[in-house]
Chains A and B, each alone.
Chain A
Amino acid sequence: MLQFSVPTVSCHHCQVAIQGEVGKIPGVQSVTVDLDTKTVTIEGDELQVDALLAAIDEAGYDAELIQ
């Protein structure tokens, strides 16, 4: 499981956008976007941080790995 901080997520649309982009990456099983804590939690096999950061970036957001 990887958790990212995405400070600019603020609405349902943001949530859907990130889930859409990250969900395309092979190996990703679930993407949870928490609007209150502004974090994205990704579960899956053999996740690559760079690929996930790139996908969130593609969705239009800057992210930082928390754990």
Chain B
Amino acid sequence: MTCTSCASRIERKLNHLPGATATVNYALEEATITFDPTALDTDRILAAVRQAGYEAIAKDQSTVSPKLQHQRWPLVISAVLSAVLLGTDLSLWSVSRPVALVLALLAIVLVGRGFLITAVRDLRHLTGGMDSLVSLGFVTAFTWSAVVTIAHKTGEPVFFDAAAIVPTVIYLGRWIEERAKVVARSDLNDLQAKILGDVAVTRQGVALTIPAKEILRDDLLTIRPGQVVPTDMTVTAGESAVDTAIITGESDLTLVAPGSNLLAGSINRDQLLEGIATTSAQRSFLSQLTQQVAQAQAKKANLERISDRVSRVFVPIVILIALGTFFVWLTQGSAVTALVAGIAVLVVACPCSLGLATPIAFLVATSRAARSGILIQSPTVLEQVPKIDTIFLDKTGTLTDATLSLDDLPPKLTEEDRVCIATVAQSSTHPVARALSALSTITVPVEAVRELPGSGLVGTVAGHTVTIAAPHFFHLETTKASRMIACQIDDRPPLLFSLHETLREGAKGLVESLHNSGIEIIMLTGDRLSNAQVLANTLGITAIRADVRPADKAAAIRDEQTLGKRVAMVGDGINDAEALAQADLGIALASGTDIAKASADITILGDDITKVPGAIALARVTLRNIHQNFAWAFGYNAIAITLAALGILNPMLAAALMASSSLIVVMNALRLRRWRLQQRFAQPAGASPEHPFSPPSAHVPVQNGFLLDT
């Protein structure tokens, strides 16, 4: 929304929806909607906002199915009723048929109503879903039984137990499924919830205690030990150890002092801190992160679209099979057997495990990944990953960091020279100066330092004049391929230092891990081939595309793609945007606050390249999980429908099977919650403390450097 008129426009559109009352808050960028869950659902509300020309996400996804949230009692009562009816059927006790009719009707009203309402609505739109099948099943069973009872045809059997148990069991299955979804989403919600408490702030000199979500930019915040930082802030007073697990995925304690920037979601572990909010809580890093994940989760994978299409043709086919079953059995002479088999087919055929297969696995995986500092932009990304056979690694900023290191030191360098050079170098932040300042930890007072424009630095230390400059400044010729810097002390001949880019921590491990997974690695750089070659040799990379201008990086990727390769590109966020977009899979390294800008398919938070194989591994594990779910759902339907049509399943058993099928899919997906990113090559195993929000994991087998406790 860009103006208040937008807000009133959205409000108007929402209020047009049947049974909805909406208010839109422009400042908070929030719409609050009260609606009747039987007439409207979140998807339709979101669609209405989209039609108005805006994007919206449901803020609290856990209330997506409010109809199931608080309905424990109807479920319990209908379960008891079903048990009574089942007992009669098993001759444990006896209930007269008119009483059974009332009990079954009660169960249908309590839990079957929802299915019927959806079925009728679907029928009006000439579509059919799971609810149509179930409704058709229990309504047929009930109608037959009621007619027999009212007509006093005591010779015919009745199926009141099936009429009650079928909706009850399926409702129970959905209830458990809904709970599981809430659990899956809880990863990030947990963290958000932790910062939902009250916070002590000073606003325009007045001390207040306000809910965290009302924090505004420039508020002065007081963060107690143990408290979660509620919004991005700059520390103004106090020193403390802070846990930045939300950004890095690892529980690293960082020392912060006045001037340090903290991101929302970090946890203050030690001392009281004071700081100025640099953004409102609504726009903090954590809010952006949660929104990005929610948006990704709202997108549909191609796989999911397939299952949607299958579900659409599936229902009419099942109804035809049920009718066929009924008539075939009828020709065998038994109307009762025909009816039972027909109902069983309707009930057992569940497209919902099919429909659940992808979204639930993706939901769990994205939440899990976000927790590890990996943002996955949409479900389709997961489908791309296993196809990748070539990966471009950007050199500067990805394989190397911005710092330089010194190679072998000149033999004539004395301890005094070291101190002099280091002291002068310390007055500059240039990467070359930084490298030189590592020559000595001893510092002496500098008398005067000035910059030589475009060339270097000159300073006076303990009576010596120190000049640091490029070799050509001293008219020196260098033949070596690597970068050189010259340092002259007084009038002595200049000392030559050679420098190399510093490899990022974990770069070696990354290359090794990619090699092991059979992916071809190409180094992509704008640097000279000779410089790149040195680094490539260290890392064991054989293919290099050097001297590539930033604008031509995308073209380099296109070249490989025209050869039929499926290309991934790893680069640092914004600089490589075009190349990242050109690649089949773009993986961006972004520092915490860049996430909103990053347009790559996968964004690694906190600049940590060691997470790249982790992201790939997670995508593979997730895709495998989805395939397992699909295989299960298809297999289940094929077998169950056959058994039901053959008259082997009764409707009650069918209902139980159907509910358990969905549950198995959900449970399988929830296994992904236990996936752990393990940066084997970043630090020795066991060196990092446990993630503060994860249960301690023990006995975990290592798979390709990633721990997976299945």
A13 touches B1 (CB 8 A): yes
Min CB distance, A16 to chain B, in Å?
A: 6
Of the candidates B5, B9, B12, the one having the most CB atoms from chain A within 10 angstroms of its own CB is: B5
Chain A residues within an 8 Å CB radius of B2: 11-13
Chain A residues within an 8 Å CB radius of B687: none
Known: A60-B5, A60-B8, A61-B5. A13 touches B53 (CB 8 A): yes
A29 within 8 A of B: no
Kindly supply a per-residue 1/0 record for chain B positions 81-97, scoring 1 wherever the CB is within 8 Å of any chain A CB and 0 otherwise: 00000000000000000
Chain A residues within an 8 Å CB radius of B8: 8, 60
B2, closest chain A residue (CB): A11
Chain B residues within an 8 Å CB radius of A11: 2-3, 5-6
Q: In the complex, A16 Cα to B4 Cα: how many Å? A: 15
A52 within 8 A of B: no
B473 within 8 A of A: no
A60 touches B12 (CB 8 A): yes
Q: In the complex, A36 Cα to B5 Cα: how many Å? A: 15
A44 within 8 A of B: no
Chain B residues within an 8 Å CB radius of A53: none
A20 touches B5 (CB 8 A): no
Chain A residues within an 8 Å CB radius of B5: 8-11, 13-14, 60-61
A59's contact among B1, B3, B4, B9, by CB below 8 Å, is which? B9
A10, closest chain B residue (CB): B3
A11-47 interface (Cβ within 8 A of B): 11-14, 16-17, 20
B51, closest chain A residue (CB): A20
Chain B residues within an 8 Å CB radius of A14: 3, 5-6, 9
Min CB distance, A37 to chain B, in Å?
A: 16
B3 touches A17 (CB 8 A): no
B3's contact among A13, A16, A20, by CB below 8 Å, is which? A13
A16 touches B9 (CB 8 A): no
Interface residues on A, range: 10 to 19
Q: In the complex, A9 Cα to B8 Cα: how many Å? A: 11
B11, closest chain A residue (CB): A60
Chain A residues within an 8 Å CB radius of B10: 60
Min CB distance, B126 to chain A, in Å?
A: 26
Q: In the complex, A21 Cα to B3 Cα: how many Å? A: 19
Known: A59-B9, A60-B12. A17 touches B52 (CB 8 A): yes
B13 within 8 A of A: yes
Chain A residues within an 8 Å CB radius of B54: 13
Q: In the complex, A13 Cα to B52 Cα: how many Å? A: 9
Min CB distance, B603 to chain A, in Å?
A: 27
Q: In the complex, A8 Cα to B554 Cα: how many Å? A: 44
B12 touches A16 (CB 8 A): no
Chain B residues within an 8 Å CB radius of A20: 53
Min CB distance, A53 to chain B, in Å?
A: 15
B16, closest chain A residue (CB): A58
Min CB distance, A61 to chain B, in Å?
A: 7
A61, closest chain B residue (CB): B5
Kindly supply a per-residue 1/0 record for chain B positions 590-610, scoring 1 wherever the CB is within 8 Å of any chain A CB and 0 otherwise: 000000000000000000000
A16 touches B13 (CB 8 A): no
Chain B residues within an 8 Å CB radius of A59: 9
Q: In the complex, A10 Cα to B8 Cα: how many Å? A: 12
Chain B residues within an 8 Å CB radius of A61: 5, 9
Chain B residues within an 8 Å CB radius of A13: 1-3, 5-6, 9, 53-54
Q: In the complex, A13 Cα to B13 Cα: how many Å? A: 14
Min CB distance, B588 to chain A, in Å?
A: 28
Chain B residues within an 8 Å CB radius of A60: 5, 8-10, 12-13, 52
Chain A residues within an 8 Å CB radius of B9: 13-14, 17, 59-61
Q: In the complex, A60 Cα to B52 Cα: how many Å? A: 10
Min CB distance, B383 to chain A, in Å?
A: 33
B53 touches A10 (CB 8 A): no
B6 touches A16 (CB 8 A): no
Q: In the complex, A43 Cα to B257 Cα: how many Å? A: 64
Q: In the complex, A46 Cα to B52 Cα: how many Å? A: 27
Kindly supply a per-residue 1/0 record for chain B positions 1-43, scoring 1 wherever the CB is within 8 Å of any chain A CB and 0 otherwise: 1111110111011000000000000000000000000000000
Min CB distance, B17 to chain A, in Å?
A: 14
Q: In the complex, A8 Cα to B12 Cα: how many Å? A: 14
Known: A9-B5, A11-B3, A60-B5. A17 touches B12 (CB 8 A): no
Chain B residues within an 8 Å CB radius of A16: 53
A8, closest chain B residue (CB): B5
Q: In the complex, A13 Cα to B53 Cα: how many Å? A: 8
Chain B residues within an 8 Å CB radius of A9: 5
Q: In the complex, A12 Cα to B54 Cα: how many Å? A: 12
Q: In the complex, A59 Cα to B6 Cα: how many Å? A: 10
Q: In the complex, A20 Cα to B53 Cα: how many Å? A: 9
Min CB distance, B488 to chain A, in Å?
A: 60
Chain B residues within an 8 Å CB radius of A8: 5, 8
Q: In the complex, A11 Cα to B54 Cα: how many Å? A: 13
B8, closest chain A residue (CB): A60
Chain A residues within an 8 Å CB radius of B13: 60
Min CB distance, A20 to chain B, in Å?
A: 7
B4 touches A10 (CB 8 A): yes
Of the candidates B4, B8, B9, B10, the one having the most CB atoms from chain A within 10 angstroms of its own CB is: B9
B10, closest chain A residue (CB): A60
Q: In the complex, A20 Cα to B52 Cα: how many Å? A: 9
Of the candidates A12, A14, A61, the one having the most CB atoms from chain B within 10 angstroms of its own CB is: A14
Min CB distance, B667 to chain A, in Å?
A: 44
Chain B residues within an 8 Å CB radius of A12: 2
Kindly supply a per-residue 1/0 record for chain A positions 46-67, scoring 1 wherever the CB is within 8 Å of any chain B CB and 0 otherwise: 0000000000000111000000
Min CB distance, A22 to chain B, in Å?
A: 14
Of the candidates A9, A60, A61, the one having the most CB atoms from chain B within 10 angstroms of its own CB is: A60
A-B contact pairs, 26 of them (CB 8 A): A8-B5, A8-B8, A9-B5, A10-B3, A10-B5, A12-B2, A13-B2, A13-B3, A13-B5, A13-B6, A13-B53, A13-B54, A14-B3, A14-B5, A14-B9, A16-B53, A17-B52, A17-B53, A59-B9, A60-B5, A60-B8, A60-B10, A60-B13, A60-B52, A61-B5, A61-B9
Sorted from nearest, which 10 A-B pairs have the closest CB atoms?
Answer: A60-B9, A11-B3, A10-B3, A11-B2, A60-B12, A13-B6, A14-B5, A8-B5, A10-B5, A13-B2
A13-B3, A61-B5 provided; 7 other pairs, C-beta below 8 A?
A8-B8, A10-B5, A11-B2, A14-B3, A14-B9, A60-B8, A60-B52
